Amino acid sequence: MNIDLFPPYFREENFPVWPCPECGSNSLTAVKDGFKKQYKVPIDPNHPTFDPEWIEYVFTLNMQCAVPTCGCGVVCVGTGDVSQEYLGDGSGEWDWFENFEVKYFQPPLQIFELPKDTPKGVKEALKVSFSTYFSSPSTSLSTLRAALEVLLGELEVVSLNAKGNFLSLAKRISSLPESYRKVVEPANAIRWLGNDGAHSGYQVRKSDVIDGYRIFEHILEELYPEKKASIEALVARINEVKGVEK
């Protein structure tokens, strides 16, 4: 996961290069005249008492994947404000700068890369979490917990006890078979984070969500290791032909 791809804010003259939600390449670029901003509420900059700090923007940004074989279109919406900052030329002078913060992408960006063998249901559940990362970190954590529930279902971990009652997530995690024991502790970490995300009063930060994403990424890599799978296939082929191809 490269968190540097998701800066907390950007400026109109320097758009980030976000990853395409379709092909995964770091290739989303703004289309011509695709950035539109406006005041959130009417403001008169010529008013005698005007202060730039009053300015609040809403914006839309239309983008497209630059990969010719993809070309996925993406719309970004968000807010903006104005802040006073020193110039970066060493003069000690300052000026006003416009800063813009993303709230939503449609379709949602994929915050971390998923192994190709990740089940479709898990991918869809994670997409729900990704969709609120920029606007509601607490929601992202609670839906990440839900994605873990989906993953356990894909691993055929039972969700009902002998009486037909739903099992808690903690009990489902503890019942993982021996072959999956290596993900028990990471799964419990997701459970704790998701619990905090679901309860109001906890001040969930984006950094907390990133912690959860890093752990979930680790879980998926443990369960669906692409490098291991490729080595296993290679070993099977060599053993089958008893050496090099004849």
Q: Which of 32, 4, 28 is nearest to 17 (CA)?
A: 28
What contacts 115, CB < 8 A, 6 or more positions away?
Answer: 220, 221, 223, 224, 225, 226
- pLDDT at position 51 over 70: yes
Q: How large is the average pLDDT for residues 69-92? A: 89
**What is the side-by-side strand order in the sheet with 73-86?**
28-39, 56-65, 73-86, 94-106
In degrees, rounded to 5, the angle at the alpha carbon of residue 40 between the alpha carbons of residues 36 and 46 is 95
Q: How large is the average pLDDT for residues 122-142? A: 95
Length of the chain, please? 246
What contacts 158, CB < 8 A, 6 or more positions away?
Answer: 167, 172, 175
Two structure tokens written together for 47: 């008013």
**pLDDT confidence of residue 33:** 94
- pLDDT at position 100 over 60: yes
**pLDDT confidence of residue 203:** 83
What is the rounded distance in angstroms from the CA atom of residue 43 to the CA atom of residue 82? 13
Domains and CATH numbers, the chain: 1-108 (no CATH), 111-246 (1.20.120.330)
- 192-202 pLDDT, tens per residue? 999 988 886 56
- pLDDT over 90 for what percent of the chain? 67
**pLDDT confidence of residue 240:** 83
